[in-house]
Structure 1
């Protein structure tokens, strides 16, 4: 299946500073204004992936670094991937890849964050049978100048990084040669990374993407003109979010025209609950894994398990339109 990347038209968009404090650290509350009104775009009615079955076991996890650069924008990218050997334990540096062809998930960190901040969650995705690529952005990662307006350049960064990651699957002698399924690709991100992810389905639509996962995100700056083939979306948001108001995330979710679901954490904040609290992390991890198994592998049995995982322990509520 041939898929074309639509050029990003980001120069005219304006992103207000409502995303200050997008990492999992405690930050002052900022109230984001409503996203700009965008014309609705037509979408085809069905997801893109063919039905198959996700792996029924967990994998060991390997991790490696890529030195990527897009026109002077340094994008060091961490890769977590299914590895050969006994499952469990920490990710192993440059471990041999497991046998098989695996879907790819591009992950975008929050403002002032790093890919490693999300290692526990992303390692679980890799163990379930996904290759996860997480670039560190040049102006919004830890130690950078925290220029929130540069979020508008990040969808193009992700598409570029995806180009380079998928190229590994056909690169002679690369450990991931023959291991990447470029027809099964998702984007995910937290906070400013959630804005980045929404942008990849709106004004910077990357037609290779089959699904999205938005953690504590908003459409501020990138709009809600969701376009292209239907790409199921999972939104995850804490109702006590002190940075990106729950209502802002819900407003973006409500505009998604495709199969979608929203996992709401009544006691959840901007990210610490989701990523640090073990019980909440389990619900978020299990729900997102089953969502990715369904949306990228086309695994119908995984779809049936999503509501059970989402509502386990009464930690979250689940709005299900998948």
Structure 2
């Protein structure tokens, strides 16, 4: 990533409340609580691209600072909603509302995209500095499955038939980090409590980068780390895959330093993921392809601990 991008000062504004349909038409039930977001952006610059980021289970707009800050320093406006499954809402696995949270998550991203102008207007007048034609979605873990639906992935029903099309016309590219694999190998617990964890990537046509850790062994699947490459293998091109051999589920600590979920803390690994996503999206959104080309060259010339593939 060019040093001038990473040297930019950034600023953040929170909370910003986002209006949501009641019910969220076509995308699930009403939330029952306000949807709030955090916006992180460069202090200066115009024609800025946008990343709407969906957090992993139980997190919030206040997590994933290492990603949001680095993306903003690279020239993006980053919008982070707090989903209904956030710890601050105290909705656990056994809560009767949990069965529809996956739909509310999708509705949250649609509400952010549909209301982006109003959100940016409340974030220091950013609406005049953003390029609304260059918008991407990204997510980690459950957030990656959520973001994937806006790229065209669907959720298979109990009978194996594809569910609704939740893709959004404003989304031009995406990045899926530790994305849920197909549902044919779910553990009994996952099959009972997370039946929506059955993505179908055959219709995910929007360009995307998939990031997977070579040591990411999910307790929700009987398969190994290759489960997290399904979003790349089973979706149509154009797609790219970043594989980090020693990476576990948080890939070094994406949600924050010393977070309890981090089992492989490594700031350099977090920086690699953040910079790979921003480089890919700058290229996919046709802003600047130089950083992505440099990253692919570095992967080819490196020590083999991480790799980039494409199709």
Q: Give the Å deviation of 1:300.
A: 3.0
- Residue 205 in structure 1 maps to residue 182 in structure 2: no
Correspondence for 2:245 = 266
What secondary structure sits across from 1:177 in the alignment? Answer: helix
Aligned pair partner of 1:214 in 176, 179, 183? 176
- Residue 305 in structure 1 maps to residue 305 in structure 2: no
- Residue 156 in structure 1 maps to residue 135 in structure 2: no
Q: Structure 1's 266 and 110: CA in aligned 2 closer, same or farther, altered over 3 A?
A: same
Could you give the per-residue CA deviations for residues 114-171 of structure 1, whole angstroms, max 9, x where no partner exists? 23321011100001110000101013455531456412331221011122223345x5
Could you give the per-residue CA deviations for residues 166-220 of structure 1, whole angstroms, max 9, x where no partner exists? 3345x59952130111100000000000110111122311121111111111253
Correspondence for 1:247 = 226
What secondary structure sits across from 1:273 in the alignment? Answer: coil
Aligned pair partner of 1:286 in 264, 275, 291? 275
Q: Structure 1's 286 and 313: CA in aligned 2 closer, same or farther, altered over 3 A?
A: farther
Q: Structure 1's 101 and 195: CA in aligned 2 closer, same or farther, altered over 3 A?
A: same
Correspondence for 1:25 = none
Q: Which structure is richer in relative contact order (CA contacts within 8 A, separation 6 or more)?
A: 1
- Residue 59 in structure 1 maps to residue 36 in structure 2: no
Q: Give the Å deviation of 1:320.
A: 2.6
User: For this pair of structures, how many residues does the alignment match?
Assistant: 251
Distance in structure 2 (CA, Å) of the matches to 1:246 and 1:216: 9
Where do 5+ consecutive residues of structure 2 fail to align? 23-29, 154-164, 182-196, 255-264
Where do 5+ consecutive residues of structure 1 fail to align? 1-53, 84-97
Distance in structure 1 (CA, Å) of the matches to 2:104 and 2:298: 35
Distance in structure 2 (CA, Å) of the matches to 1:173 and 1:111: 26
What secondary structure sits across from 2:128 in the alignment? Answer: coil
Distance in structure 2 (CA, Å) of the matches to 1:116 and 1:168: 17
TM-score, normalised to structure 2's length? 0.72
Backbone CA RMSD of aligned residues? 2.6
TM-score, normalised to structure 1's length? 0.70
